[in-house]
């Protein structure tokens, strides 16, 4: 489990895992990773090229959009299945999901919800189980999965508090002309990369149609240090506010099949959740782990 062992400093350590994952001795220095495919945008000196002066969301042809809120639909199916199970006779052990879809009960899932899923997917949560207790970086973490691409899954830790601002780190990678210098910097993981989340408080059409950032789920996007200049330009144009962005130092990454192996070994529980659970207000919330477990129900992690 490589990511568990990496910190800002080089070191060598040994971690023992279950028989399905061999113990490894790793020596590692933080480095830039090719995991994130950066969009080509203008350099800071000509940053307006990423957002032409004439750009306006209303200028785009109004095309029909596929409803991206499919997670809520699935959550209602899961809730409906649970209702059907609770109403079953003790002798019955299966649920006909076609019946749930064709004759759905009146289900209200509320603004905040979370439930387990079997496979990791973009926008899901990885919730550390008790098997990671004692692994300092990952103990009781909630990780938002940003990508499940061919180079392997990657994500950021949501529930570690900020200890300093971008200015206090002395780094200019996530700042353009001082726009974000006073913004808090959160620990996103042990692998080196500057990332940020963007979630506009109002209509996100301008952010989405700019195609500058990668969409994680409805209303939530992420960017890299290569696109931070465009974020600064959007702030200048009042398309987004400073409070609509959260910055992270580092991220978590796995090899192609490594995360699935760790899930099978019981190190992570995979969960889908509503956007409100992982809104920007949840970033740095040390109580997020308990909150997500509470939404999923008792003892759903192990």
Tally of domains within the chain: 2
Same domain flag for 87 and 130: no
Place of tokens 């989405």: 208
User: How do 24-28 and 114-116 pair as beta strands?
Assistant: unpaired
> Quick check: is 210 in a domain?
yes
Q: How far apart are CA 77 and CA 68, in angstroms?
A: 16
pLDDT of residue 163: 87
Give the burial string for 262-276 (b: 16+ CB within 10 Å, else e). Answer: bbebebbbbbbbbbe
Task: Assess if residue 147 is contained within a domain.
Answer: yes
Could you tell me which residues are beta bridge partners of residue 114? 273
pLDDT at 78: 76
Phi, psi of 45 (to 5 degrees): -70, -20
Angle at 65 between CA 64 and CA 68, to 5 degrees: 160
CB 204 within 8 A of CB 18: no
128 lies in the same domain as 102? no
Q: Are 22 and 15 in contact (CB under 8 A)?
A: no
Q: So what's the pLDDT on residue 8?
A: 36
Of the three residues 109, 135, 170, the one that is the final residue of a domain is 109
Token pair 């950021």 is found at: 156
Residue 169, Cβ neighbours under 10 Å: how many?
Answer: 16
Which pLDDT score, from 0 to 100, does residue 49 have?
Answer: 39
Is the residue at 10 inside a domain?
A: no
- Cα dihedral 79, 81, 87, 88, rounded to 10, equals -160
Give yes or no: residues 104 and 139 share one domain. no
Q: 125, 142 in Cβ contact below 8 A?
A: yes
Length of the chain equals 302
- Domain co-membership, 73 together with 147: no
Q: How far is 221 from 48, CA to CA, in rounded Å?
A: 20
Distance CA 19, CA 75 (A): 34
Is residue 16 situated within a structural domain? no
Is residue 155 in a domain?
yes
What pLDDT sits at residue 23? 31
Specify the pLDDT at position 98. 56
pLDDT of 45 reads 37
Residue 234: CATH number of its domain:
3.40.1740.10
273 lies in which domain range?
114-296
Asked if residue 237 is part of any domain, the answer here is: yes
pLDDT of 214 reads 94
Q: Is the dihedral of CA 161, 268, 18, 34 positive or negative?
A: negative
Task: Walk along the chain (302 residues) and give the pLDDT tens digit of each residue.
Answer: 444 433 333 323 333 333 333 333 223 334 445 555 444 433 333 333 355 444 343 333 343 334 457 777 787 787 777 666 666 655 555 555 555 455 555 566 678 899 999 999 999 999 999 999 999 999 999 999 999 988 899 999 999 999 899 999 887 788 888 899 999 999 999 999 999 999 998 878 888 888 899 999 989 999 999 999 999 999 999 999 999 999 999 999 999 899 999 999 999 999 999 988 988 988 999 999 999 999 987 644 44
């Amino acid at each position: 489990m490589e990511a568990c062992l990496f910190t800002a400093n080089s070191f060598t350590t040994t971690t023992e895992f279950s028989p399905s994952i061999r113990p490894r001795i790793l020596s590692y220095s933080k480095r830039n990773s090719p995991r994130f495919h950066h969009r080509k945008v203008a350099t800071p000196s000509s940053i307006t090229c990423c957002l032409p002066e004439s750009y306006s969301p209303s200028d785009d042809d109004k095309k029909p959009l596929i409803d991206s809120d499919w997670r809520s639909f699935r959550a209602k199916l899961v809730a409906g299945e649970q209702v059907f199970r609770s109403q079953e006779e003790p002798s019955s052990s299966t649920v006909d999901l076609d019946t749930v879809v064709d004759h759905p009960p009146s289900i209200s899932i509320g603004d905040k919800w979370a439930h387990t899923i079997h496979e990791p997917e973009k926008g899901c949560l990885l919730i550390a189980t008790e098997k990671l207790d004692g692994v300092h970086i990952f103990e009781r973490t909630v990780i938002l999965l940003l990508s499940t691409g061919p180079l392997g899954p990657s994500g950021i830790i949501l529930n570690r508090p900020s200890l300093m601002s971008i200015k206090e780190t002395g780094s200019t990678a996530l700042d353009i002309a001082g726009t974000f210098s006073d913004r808090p910097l959160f620990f996103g993981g042990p692998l080196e990369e500057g990332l940020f989340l963007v979630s506009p408080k109002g209509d996100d059409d301008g952010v989405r149609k700019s195609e500058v950032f990668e969409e994680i789920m409805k209303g939530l996007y992420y960017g890299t240090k290569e696109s931070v200049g465009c974020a600064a330009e959007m702030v200048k144009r009042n398309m987004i506010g400073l409070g609509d962005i959260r910055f992270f130092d580092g991220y978590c990454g796995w090899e192609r099949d490594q995360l699935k192996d760790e899930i099978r070994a019981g190190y992570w529980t995979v969960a889908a959740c509503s956007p409100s659970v992982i809104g920007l207000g949840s970033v740095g919330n040390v109580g997020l782990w308990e909150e997500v477990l509470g939404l999923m129900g008792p003892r759903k992690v192990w």
